[in-house]
Amino acid sequence: MITRSKLVEQLRDYQIRSQHRCPALSVFSPKPVLSTWTDVAVAIFWALIFTLLLVSSYVTLYFRHYWISFVIVCLGILVPIRLRISRQTLARKRDRRLLLPLSM
């Protein structure tokens, strides 16, 4: 059943999503929403780390150091996965905070 509070929450989420200034950076942000400039700076930092890992894996492949390249590729895969996990945990905490206590 659709309640008023769910509609208000959906509207709030839509408004927050429509305020994204850098939607491409939201992939590299540890928070679900880029609301402050520090969030944007952290997202740029993680994007640069990911790019550095990608370029260094290509360089190690060029010099035929396959094991080092494999380790760097694995680290490059783990960076976005870890950021996604942190976004999900923050979203769960936010949703848990919005729930009413049992006494109400």
For the segment 21-80, what is each residue's pLDDT rounded down to a tens digit?
A: 667 777 888 887 777 888 888 999 999 999 999 999 999 999 999 999 999 999 999 999
Residue 77 lies in a domain: yes
Please compute the mean of the pLDDT values over residues 5-26 and round it to a whole number. Answer: 74
Listed range (30-34, 53-57, 94-98, 99-103) with the worst mean pLDDT: 99-103
pLDDT, position 85: 92
Q: What spatial distance separates the first Cα and last Cα of the chain, rounded to whole Å?
A: 19
CA distance 45 to 28: 8
Number of domains in the chain: 1
Residue 56 lies in a domain: yes
Claim: this prediction has a pTM higher than 0.85: no
Close Cβ partners of 43 (under 8 Å, ≥ 6 residues apart): 22, 25, 26, 28, 29, 34
CA distance 55 to 26: 21
Residue 33 lies in a domain: yes
Residue 104 lies in a domain: no
pLDDT, position 70: 96
Please compute the mean of the pLDDT values over residues 79-94 and round it to a whole number. Answer: 88
Which tokens hold the place of 96?
Answer: 């848990």
CA distance 63 to 103: 65
